[in-house]
Amino acid sequence: MKNDKYSTTKLESVQLNEIKNVTESPCHKKGIPLWLVLLDNIPTLILFVLGTILVCQISTIGAVIFGAYSLFSVVFFWAKICPFCHHYNTLACPCGYGVISAKLFKKRNDKTFKKVFKQNIGIVFPNWIVPFSIAIYLLVTQYTNELFILTIAFSLIGFVVIPLISKFVGCKNCEIKEDCPWMKVNKTSKK
């Protein structure tokens, strides 16, 4: 019981320090320009549309479920990740989710952002994995040129354009990127 109390206090103190460091960060004093918000969101929207078209090649109901899942994964992100983020309810969030999340969900400090991010980021992975797997299966079993072009477009957006925008535009100038699990994952995978 005593240990629980001690751990909670320690956690709160770590979070308070994190919040203090970050709210003093210069990135909170400037807003992200609209073009950057659009640059972050339009490719994601295109990915969802191309993914839905790919799933539709094998099942219309599957495509409806996939489209609904894609939108759900974004709302889940607003609910489960953004409330713990330093950019929650600030104009420093590169994609604008932090502001939307604040309108729908309460700020949370009971866990660290790093932990929450690692626990929940998997929700978005099916948006890449499901359409890509279906595309590979269809290319092998019933190849068409249209399907090939669709797969290339999906892969370019999902595996090249979106990661490059994150790395070189959205997150490039972020003052807290050293604390971001996403940037650390990218760094580790390069080693």
Q: Residues in the site for ligand SF4, rule: CB under 6 A?
A: 81-82, 85, 87-88, 93, 95, 97-98
> At closest approach, how far in Å is the CB of 56 from ligand SF4?
28
Nearer to ligand SF4, 57 or 166 (CB): 166
Which strand (E) or helix (H) includes residue 164?
Answer: helix 162-165
User: Do residues 162 and 98 make contact, with C-beta atoms less than 8 angstroms apart?
Assistant: no
Nearer to ligand SF4, 91 or 153 (CB): 91
User: Do residues 186 and 167 make contact, with C-beta atoms less than 8 angstroms apart?
Assistant: yes
Nearer to ligand SF4, 102 or 147 (CB): 102
> At closest approach, how far in Å is the CB of 141 from ligand SF4?
38
The residues, ordered by sequence, that sit 6+ positions from 186 with a Cβ below 8 Å of its Cβ are: 167
How far is it, in rounded angstroms, from Cα 20 to Cα 117?
Answer: 20
> At closest approach, how far in Å is the CB of 112 from ligand SF4?
13
